[in-house]
Amino acid sequence: MGLTGLFAIGLATAVSAQDYQRPSVSGIGAVAQPEQIAAWDIDVRPDGLGLPVGKGTAEEGEELFADRCAQCHGDFGEGVDRWPVLTGGHDSLTEDRPEKTVGSYWPYSSTLFDYINRAMPYGDAKTLTPDEVYALSAYILAENEIVERDQELNQDNFAQIEMPNRANFFADDRAVSEAYTERCMSNCKAEAVNIVSAAPELDVTPEE
Ligand code: HEC
């Protein structure tokens, strides 16, 4: 097994033999090098922490989206066949069949950057530059009518984009809110329970 095969996290980053340090405790693996950690440390948080330097507009992203994303997500993010829909669905969240898209559902723009940057194009992840990810994100946001087509998005303004469904995400306060402090844990139903049907009678499990 070659030297690189020993690394606890195996990344393309080459580490020369003299940088290689044997950890003192277990004697196996190697101390992760700063470049290796940097390659893993790509998460982008809602407040924008982690956004790489770069910029892009929807106008710039349109052609790239057509080339690298549209075969699955459709030219306008409408989704081809059963691939995920990225646009539309606004005001559908209270319907019987809500359409949860980046535009209708996602609370933070940072998730869009992070997701594309780490996972798309599907099967060919991590092949986009930061400028391309900004431009593609801008295109999806513009198709959702959240930003203007010529609006430049960059590391300073990206996290400030207000997502339409943001307010519907809130901290779960059930443990402290008045309505839930007195919980019934036994004999909670006053009347006798009336069993109206049972799984075997309903024949929920098919014979074959
Ligand atoms: C080969 C098909 C394919 C291509 C090409 C592709 N995607 Fe995807 N995309 C997917 C699949 C499948 C998922 C869902 C993955 C999952 O849920 O694990 C997805 C999910 C997404 C999501 C999250 C959707 C959601 O609501 O959860 C975004 C955003 C996205 N893709 C953007 C892009 C962008 C931008 C590109 C072009 C750079 C791209 N995709 C290219 C197949 C594709």
Structure token pair of residue 118: 């780490």
Quick check: 62 pLDDT over 80? yes
pLDDT at 16: 59
pLDDT at 17: 55
pLDDT in tens, 138-157: 999 999 999 999 999 999 99
Distance in angstroms (rounded) separating the CA atoms of residues 69 and 66: 6
Q: What is the average pLDDT value for the chain, to the nearest integer? A: 88
pLDDT at 19: 58
**Mean pLDDT of the 173-202 span:** 80
pLDDT at 14: 53
pLDDT in tens, 2-54: 444 444 444 445 555 555 566 666 778 888 999 999 989 999 999 999 999 99
How far from 15 is each of 26, 127, 141, CA to CA, in Å? 20, 22, 39
Q: Assess whether the C-beta atom of 160 lies below 6 angstroms from ligand 1.
A: no
Nearest atom (ligand 1) to Cα of 105: 26
* Residue to mutate (ligand 1; options 63, 72, 82, 85; most atoms within 8 A of CB): 72
* Residue to mutate (ligand 1; options 68, 102, 115, 122; most atoms within 8 A of CB): 122
pLDDT at 187: 84
Quick check: 180 pLDDT over 80? no
Say if residue 121 is preceded by a cis peptide, omega within 30 of 0.
yes
CB atoms within 10 A of CB 193: 6
Nearest atom (ligand 1) to Cα of 137: 35
> Could you tell me if 131 and 151 are in contact, meaning their C-beta atoms sit under 8 angstroms apart?
no
The structure tokens 């779960």 sit at: 172
**Mean pLDDT of the 163-176 span:** 89
> Could you tell me if 112 and 134 are in contact, meaning their C-beta atoms sit under 8 angstroms apart?
no
Per-residue pLDDT band for 105 (boundaries 50, 70, 90) equals very high
pLDDT in tens, 114-129: 999 999 999 999 999 9
pLDDT at 20: 59
Query: 36 Cβ partners below 8 Å, 6+ apart?
Result: 7, 9, 11, 13, 15
How far from 55 is each of 41, 42, 98, 190, CA to CA, in Å? 20, 17, 32, 62
How far from 83 is each of 1, 70, 112, 123, 166, CA to CA, in Å? 40, 10, 17, 14, 25
CA of 108 to the centre of ligand 1 (A): 17
pLDDT at 190: 86
CA of 70 to the centre of ligand 1 (A): 10
CA of 120 to the centre of ligand 1 (A): 6
